[in-house]
Amino acid sequence: MLANLRKEERSLLYYITAFLAVGVLVLYLGQPEFNTVYELALGSGYKLPFWWFVVMLSIGTMAGFWLISAYWRVAGFKCDPYLMPITASLTALGLIFLFRLRPQYAERQFAWLLFGLVALVIITTLLRKMDWLEDYKYIYVAAGVILLVLPIFFGREQYGARSWLDLGLFQLQSSEFVKLLLVMFLASFLAENRRVLSAGSDQLWGISIPGIREYGPLVVMWGISLLILVFQKDLGTALIYFCTFLAMIYAATARMFYVSAGLLLFFLGGTVAYYIFDHVQARVDIWLNPWAYSSGKGYQIVQSLFALGSGGLFGSGLGQGLPGLIPAVHTDFIFSAIVEELGLVGGCAVLVLYMCFIFRGFMIALNARNDFTALLATGFTALMGLQTFIIIAGVIKLLPMTGVTLPFISYGGSSLVANFVLLGMLLNVSHEVNQGNETEY
Amino acid sequence: MKQNIKKLSYFLLSIFVILLFYLTYITFQQGEALATHPQNRRMAAKEAAIIRGTIYDRQGVSLAETKWQGQAGQRVYQTVEHVFPSAHVVGYVSERYGSSGLEAAYSKELLGLTEADAVENLLDKILNRTPRGNDLILTLDASLQSRALALLGNRRGAVVALDPRTGAVLAMVSSPAFNSNTLKDPEVWNQLNKDEANAPLLNRATQGAYPPGSVIKLVTGAGILTNQVDQPEKTIDCPGYVIIDGNKIADNQVHHQVNFSKALAVSCNTYFAQEGVKLGWHNLLNTFEKFGLNQNPHLEIPVRAGTFAAAERRNKSQLAETSFGQGDTLLSPLHMALACAAIANHGTIMKPYLVKEIRKPEGQVVRVTESTPWLTATTPEIAGLITQGMVGAVDWGTGSGASLRGIKVAGKTGTAETKNTQDPTSAPHAWFVGFAPADNPQVVVAVIVEKGGSGSKVAAPIARDVMAAALSGK
């Protein structure tokens, strides 16, 4: 069975290659007159026909995934065979839509994708044995805090959030990487302390009352989330940090106390933030009634709803809709573009792909060999799932809109690289599982 | 801990199921409203990429066509002396101000977006052709339109001409008209909207609300004969006034002995007031309804259905006034033309229509409007008796201004008082309805000149020229 893992993976990659090819072909047929010369932004102005550019990037993407699979086979890496194809299909879909919406961003995204794939190779090579990672939890905290604090002093404000680090050649959104450090820290912290945390130390009238040791982490985490909210004005990231924390502490301790107290604190913080910060208040007001602000601050969400509603069951067809009417459609609102052009069917397919990712992620967590790796896999999967849920719920107006990227699909370099690191870590856990249990899968 | 992870995974997967359901809800429950929301620019963009069909008159004269310039089209409307005589019927289409008239009513056909066009549109998409909508061929006659508008001149008013045998509307003008080509200029648009005195955007022919004056006597007359209030031969004496409920209502002159036919020809208010009171509210309103006065004929452009005195105001003197076209009655010229068409067409009103045919750009006919009866207003016998009175009116009565050489014309004038306490010197509305030839009616005309003076002097000559033009044009 195990020998077939990579074969299965590669055959799935062929389907995805076909999918990407069909997408590019449809785009080409949709506008054959669009044969402008494309000038590479990153290649010092090198010019080539637009469709050559598209085909080259597509081939480059699929070749990248295929080579990694081939490398894993040679290197004897026994990870889950479905996660990478799921990721590849999401990436391919993202590329198709970036070609269609903003070709310059497709080029940048491709460059970031190469970084991401390299990161994936490095992580699946160097970090295969994961146990030692448990010992460096305070280094994660230190690194995380530094990464979080840097943009406050040296950062640039973009899209209303101050979380970008300007590194000259490119910009880095450090909070994307802090997410990973957060999960690693929590996994090691909880693996060590989960028994203490689940028991409860004092009792008062028969009810276990948590001591400082128990609600300490909760309050600290809540504080960190609030700080992000205050200093970086990044509502989405704060929400993801806090929810991931709650998910992991629940998985580790099974105590609803943490979840309910956490939610209580969250609503407390949210209510206070609503009254103190204009941008939080604006987000909530827009969510409650975007139509009242349809030409002002609610414009984006209203345009997103128009795109969703115009798609119908099968969509307008790739390249045939007008998703360009939505501001920032290539990042936060790319899901609306997908639904407009591929319809409800396409939107549901994307959701199901993410559900498959989450399912595989939790399967890995359930089979993990020790608490640390189980929590690590749980945390990464929950992080991925929550982020996806929060952004999609935002663009379809189920929840207030918070600016985060749609993993693997949205344009966003830091997010893409961070998500490949996350994928690499998950795959490392699954490699460990499969190595120890040859009959599994 | 495995249990917890399992529960967490169920939770996460179930919130994704919520997303699936909510997305489905948006698509199916709100999709239509969102897709067609006025602020959603997708519809406009889609329409802008289609060559809108041409609107032709019955002779093939282009009234509105789209000149395609590469990526976008410009809608060009016919102009005669700087105005578009059919502006109110054809309407306009503007990105900024929406659309009106037939441009609005037949938007789907003109854009080729009906279900019948689905295959064609798919082919256009595949072959990457610029889609072109269907053409409309109207029943209107462009030369008759400009003639009618010229006859109204700079006076406010309306002319409706239709073929009583089919219901085809041959002419429908409202004065003042406007130039649909200049609407895109916001200044012109604002000016047209602000001009409340002239209300140039109002289609007076279908949405005007005028007291009908004596032209209503055709309908009242039909009610009198149908309900056999009196025999048509019976004469009454007209002393030049009539006293109803203690109110003295002055007639236009002393008519002496009048029977039904003479009363129509000389437009005797005394006769109709007395007979109308005998007829009673119930029968009178019933007759009005049979003639479709308070109904919407669904002409596909906005029509104001006529209104009569409210129930609490229906006393005897109101009844007498309503019988000869004053009181609270307010009607549109279209409704009067249709009532007259009932007399011309042996008691049956054909459903009026403006669009004769819808054709594909290659000339293939998509739909032909078939004429259908709309209402049965009265019997052929009664229609014949009323025609006699109307012929008398034109031959030797009030409507002599409408007589044509060699053609027998039937007509009825109306001079509707508009005096009120605010404006005690206001000139009356001049009305004329009629048809020709009287023994083989081919055209029905209704003319109103707002505050133009007497129906005989002002409206009848306009009707004569419109009838002459309509008959010679065939």
DSSP class per residue in B425-463 = TPPPEEEEEEEESTTS--EEEEEEETT---IIIIIHHHH
Name the minimum distance, in Å, from the CA of A218 to any CA of chain B. Answer: 18
**Rounded to whole angstroms, how far apart are CA atoms A257 and B289?**
75
pLDDT score recorded for residue A352: 97
Mind listing the pLDDT tens digit for each residue in B52-88?
999 999 999 999 999 887 777 889 999 998 999 999 9
A308/B34 touch (CB, cutoff 8 Å), yes or no: yes
Q: Is A308 on the interface with B (CB under 8 A)?
A: yes
Type of residue numbered A179: K
Residue A160 in this model has a pLDDT that exceeds 70: no
Mind listing the pLDDT tens digit for each residue in A343-355?
999 999 999 999 9
pLDDT band at A239 (very low <50, low <70, confident <90, very high): confident
Give the total residue count for chain B: 474
pLDDT score recorded for residue B433: 96
Q: How is residue A53 written in tokens?
A: 């550019």
Q: Using the CB atoms, write b or e for A333-360: b if 16+ within 10 Å.
A: bbbbbbbbbbbbebbbebbebbbebbbb
Going by the DSSP 8-state scheme, the letter that residue A314 receives in this structure is T
A389/B8 touch (CB, cutoff 8 Å), yes or no: no
Type of residue numbered B410: A
pLDDT score recorded for residue A111: 92
Under 8 Å CB-to-CB from B363, ≥6 apart: which residues?
A: none
pLDDT band at B10 (very low <50, low <70, confident <90, very high): very high
Going by the DSSP 8-state scheme, the letter that residue A83 receives in this structure is H
B19/A396 touch (CB, cutoff 8 Å), yes or no: yes
* Cβ-contact B59, B141 below 8 angstroms: yes
pLDDT band at B422 (very low <50, low <70, confident <90, very high): confident
**Highest mean pLDDT: which of B45-54, B133-142, B236-245?**
B133-142
**Rounded to whole angstroms, how far apart are CA atoms B277 and B319?**
6
pLDDT band at A51 (very low <50, low <70, confident <90, very high): confident
* Cβ-contact A389, A72 below 8 angstroms: no
For helices A5-30 and A50-75, angle between their N-to-C axes, nearest 10 degrees = 180
**Rounded to whole angstroms, how far apart are CA atoms A372 and A131?**
8
Q: How far is CA A331 from CA A97, A163, B278, in A?
A: 11, 15, 80
Closest alpha carbon to B469 in B155, B170, B137? B170
Residue A162 in this model has a pLDDT that exceeds 70: no
Residue B146 in this model has a pLDDT that exceeds 50: yes
pLDDT band at B107 (very low <50, low <70, confident <90, very high): confident
Closest alpha carbon to B143 in B57, B225, B230, B234? B57
> What is the average pLDDT across B256-267?
92
> Three-state DSSP class for A366?
helix
Q: How is residue B191 written in tokens?
A: 């000016």
Residue with the bigger pLDDT between A161 and B235: it is B235
Mind listing the pLDDT tens digit for each residue in A386-409?
999 999 999 999 998 887 889 999
**Rounded to whole angstroms, how far apart are CA atoms B5 and B118?**
52
Least confident range from A119-123, A271-275, A340-344, A407-411: namely: A271-275
pLDDT score recorded for residue A380: 96
**Rounded to whole angstroms, how far apart are CA atoms B389 and B164?**
18
B13/A358 touch (CB, cutoff 8 Å), yes or no: yes
Residue with the bigger pLDDT between B269 and B38: it is B269
pLDDT band at B223 (very low <50, low <70, confident <90, very high): very high
pLDDT score recorded for residue A104: 84
pLDDT score recorded for residue A78: 87
Query: Which residue spans within A167-271 are E strands per DSSP?
Result: 171-173, 202-204, 207-209
Q: How far is CA B38 from CA A291, A415, B35, B210, in A?
A: 12, 36, 9, 34
**Rounded to whole angstroms, how far apart are CA atoms A311 and A322?**
10
Q: How is residue A303 written in tokens?
A: 């345009």
Residue B457 in this model has a pLDDT that exceeds 90: yes
> How many helices (H) does chain A have, and how many strands (E)?
14, 7
CA–chain centroid gap for A374, Å, is: 20
pLDDT score recorded for residue A3: 60
pLDDT score recorded for residue B122: 78
Pairs of residues, one from chain A and one from chain B, whose beta carbons lie less than 8 Å apart: 125
- Among chain A residues, the shortest Cα distance to B20 is held by A348
| Bridge partners, B99 (sequence order) | B93
pLDDT band at A164 (very low <50, low <70, confident <90, very high): low
Residue with tokens 């990407």: A20
| Bridge partners, B250 (sequence order) | B241
Mind listing the pLDDT tens digit for each residue in A62-96?
999 999 999 999 988 888 999 999 999 999 999 99
Mind listing the pLDDT tens digit for each residue in A97-133?
999 888 888 988 999 999 999 999 999 999 888 888 8
pLDDT score recorded for residue A202: 54
Q: Which of residues 358-417 of A touch B (CB under 8 A)?
A: 358-359, 362, 365-366, 371, 374, 378, 381-382, 385-386, 388-389, 392-393, 396, 398
pLDDT score recorded for residue B45: 79
Write down all domains in chain B, each with its CATH number in brackets: 207-355+372-472 (3.40.710.10)
Query: Which residue spans within B169-231 are E strands per DSSP?
Result: 169-175
> What is the average pLDDT across B178-193?
90
pLDDT score recorded for residue A441: 42
pLDDT band at A440 (very low <50, low <70, confident <90, very high): very low
In this complex, the residue of B23, B37, B41 whose CB is nearest that of residue A325 is B41
**Rounded to whole angstroms, how far apart are CA atoms A209 and A214?**
9
**Rounded to whole angstroms, how far apart are CA atoms B442 and B445?**
10
pLDDT band at A437 (very low <50, low <70, confident <90, very high): low
B27/A366 touch (CB, cutoff 8 Å), yes or no: no
* Cβ-contact A137, A147 below 8 angstroms: no
> Three-state DSSP class for A206?
coil
Residue B351 in this model has a pLDDT that exceeds 90: yes
Q: How is residue A30 written in tokens?
A: 């949709």
Residue B332 in this model has a pLDDT that exceeds 70: yes
Q: How far is CA A413 from CA A116, B240, B372, in A?
A: 9, 96, 68
Rg (CA), chain B: 27
Q: How is residue B51 written in tokens?
A: 């060559």
Most B-contacting residue of A198, A294, A318, A344 (CB-CB within 10 A), to test interface:
A344
Name the minimum distance, in Å, from the CA of B133 to any CA of chain A. Answer: 19
Residue with the bigger pLDDT between B337 and B426: it is B337
B1/A362 touch (CB, cutoff 8 Å), yes or no: no
A67-73 contacts: CB < 8 A, separation 24 or more? A68/A117, A68/A120, A68/A121, A69/A6, A69/A9, A69/A10, A69/A13, A70/A6, A70/A10, A71/A121, A72/A6, A72/A9, A72/A124, A73/A6
Residue B18 in this model has a pLDDT that exceeds 90: yes
Residue with the bigger pLDDT between B180 and A33: it is B180
Residue with tokens 């008209």: B177
Most A-contacting residue of B12, B18, B36 (CB-CB within 10 A), to test interface:
B12
Name the minimum distance, in Å, from the CA of B70 to any CA of chain A. Answer: 14
**Rounded to whole angstroms, how far apart are CA atoms B441 and B471?**
10
A309/B30 touch (CB, cutoff 8 Å), yes or no: yes
Task: Please report which helix (H) or strand (E) contains residue B465, including its range.
Answer: helix B460-472
pLDDT band at B289 (very low <50, low <70, confident <90, very high): very high
Look at phi and psi of residue B455 and say left if phi exceeds 0, alpha if psi is from -120 to 50, else beta: alpha
Task: Please report which helix (H) or strand (E) contains residue A341, including its range.
Answer: helix A334-367
Type of residue numbered B469: A
Least confident range from A283-287, B10-14, B410-414, B440-444: namely: A283-287
pLDDT band at A34 (very low <50, low <70, confident <90, very high): low
Under 8 Å CB-to-CB from A264, ≥6 apart: which residues?
A: none
> What is the average pLDDT across A306-333?
88
> What is the average pLDDT across B415-440?
90
* Cβ-contact B211, B329 below 8 angstroms: yes
